Each structure stands twice: as structure tokens, then as C-alpha cells.
Amino acid sequence: MASLREIKSRITSTQKTSQITKAMEMVSTAKLSKAEQSAKSFVPYMEKIQDVVSSVASGTTEATHPMLEQRPVKKTGYIIITADRGLVGAYNSNVIRKLNQMIQERHKSPDEYGIIAIGRVGRDHFKKLGHNILLDIIGLHDHPTYEEINTISRQAVGMYSDGTYDELYLIYTNYKTIISHEVVAKKILPLTDFESTGSNLSYEFEPNIEEILNVLLPQYAESLIFGAILSSKASEYASGMTAMKNATDNAMELIDELTLRYNRARQDKITQEITEIVSGAAALE
């Protein structure tokens, strides 16, 4: 049996760990509520732009734009959104697994695809495996603003326009509730499937449809990327919160168990001492 002091020091160290995990849990909770908020305030914008894009794109058949055209796919781009750090449960590995799976299923040679990595964990993983990383962004703000994301999404959309890749997928974690989020792979370019909203107004275009599409479509694609980042951030904090909560719970359980063992050992020791004293006294008589 471990000595009293050994058990005691294990209890103290577990307690300290649990304090840290508890603090991290609270930090994640605070961040989550803010991330949820920004995801929520993004919804009206997204809905509106989707509405406009689908009615413009479906309302006019003569409109053509490079971003609407399906071209033969020589190279595929993947945007993968992960966290900058670990300690968030299975959040990072789920996204990475999904992309690995997609690459294995769809490609034979590494020349057929390129990766845009947002977040350190994803970047490091795919860099280590020697994949072709087109662009990487790390150290994003905890609650990114549209302006911050703008340069990234513009570059991503720009690489589609200049032919670096012929289709673009977005792999991210879709946030539903605190306990439910799932990894999603979404094709964002070329823009093909529009959810029809039913409100098909025939618009006038000022100055003309090409001009409009030139502004509208990149903005739409950028919004999709921004939305995915917001959703991923919320999922990241939710996973972090759950992971840290579990860690704290486990630590508490361990402390309980150790305390029990400590008390037993202490009792044993006392009993032994009494026995020794009693038998010592008996020997003197």
C-alpha cells in the first residue's frame, strides 16, 4: 500500500489539475456564449444574401459567370477549419479525419488537390504528412470579425477565379447545440445548388447583370466561408467546454477515491499503533 504522504501528494496535484480544467471550462463557456451570439447575428445577413443570390441566379438564365460554371476538375481545393490548440476533445481530429478520408477516396496523386488550412492543428498535421498547403492562417482572433476573415476568403475565392483549383470544398464543424455538432464537407465553388426560396421576383439590374454577379457571387462565397468559421469557432468552444468538464469530473472522482484510500491508510496506521502500544504494555506486565 502506498504511503500516506504519497497519496496526499497525489490528491494535491489532482486538485490543482482540476482547478485548471475548471478554469478552462469557464473560459470556454464564456467564449461560447459570445461565439453563439456572433453566429446568431450573422444569420439575417446570410439568409438575405442567400435569398438574393438564389433569386438572381435562378431568375435569369442568360447570366453566366465563372463562379457559376462547372469546369472540368483538374485540381480540388479544400479549406479545413480547425482550432489553433488542442484540449478540445475530438474536435480537431474529427475534421482532420474527414479530410483525410475525402482525399483518399477522391484522389490518386497529391497534384490533384491543395489545402487551405485555417487553424494551427490542421496545418501542422497536413504539413507533416507532406500535403500541398496553398495557404495557411493561424492565430485568428477568438471572435473573428468579417473584416478579419475578408482577406482570407478573398484569397480563397481568388484562387478559384485564377484557376489554381477548379472546385472548392469547405470542411468545418457545424454547430447545432452545445452537445451536438457535426463535421460537414460542403462544396462552395462553383456555386451550383441554390436553395430556392420561392420568392422569385424578377429584378431589374443596375447597371447590368454581369456587374451584379461580379459583386454578389464573391461576396456570397466569402460569406459562406465566414459563416463556416463562426460555426467552427462555436463548436470549438463547445467541445472545449465539454472536454474540460469531463476532465474536471474525472479529477473529482479520482480525488474522492484517493481521499478514501488516504483515510483507510490513516486508520490502518492508527490501529497498528494502538496494537503496538497495547502489546507493548502487555509485554511489560
Determine if 268 is a binding residue for another protein (CB under 8 A): no
- At 281, which helix (H) or strand (E)? helix 209-284
- At 169, which helix (H) or strand (E)? strand 167-175
The residue from 62, 193, 195, 206 that contacts another protein (CB under 8 A) is 206
Site string for another protein, 55-94 (x = CB under 8 A): -x--------------------------------------
Determine if 141 is a binding residue for another protein (CB under 8 A): no
* CB closer to another protein out of 41 and 271: 41
Say if residues 99 and 172 touch (Cβ distance below 8 Å): no
Determine if 194 is a binding residue for another protein (CB under 8 A): no
Smallest separation, CB 201 to another protein (Å): 4
User: Cell numbers of 22, please?
Assistant: 475548471
Determine if 38 is a binding residue for another protein (CB under 8 A): yes
For cell 483518399, what's the residue? 104
Q: Are strands 181-189 and 167-175 parallel, antiparallel or unpaired?
A: antiparallel
For cell 484557376, what's the residue? 163
Say if residues 75 and 165 touch (Cβ distance below 8 Å): yes
For cell 481521499, what's the residue? 259
Amino acid at 67: M
The residue from 100, 150, 174, 197 that contacts another protein (CB under 8 A) is 150
The residue from 48, 97, 106, 269 that contacts another protein (CB under 8 A) is 48
Residues in contact with another protein by CB under 8 A are 38, 41-42, 44-46, 48-49, 52, 56, 145-147, 150, 201-207, 211-212, 214-216, 219, 223, 226
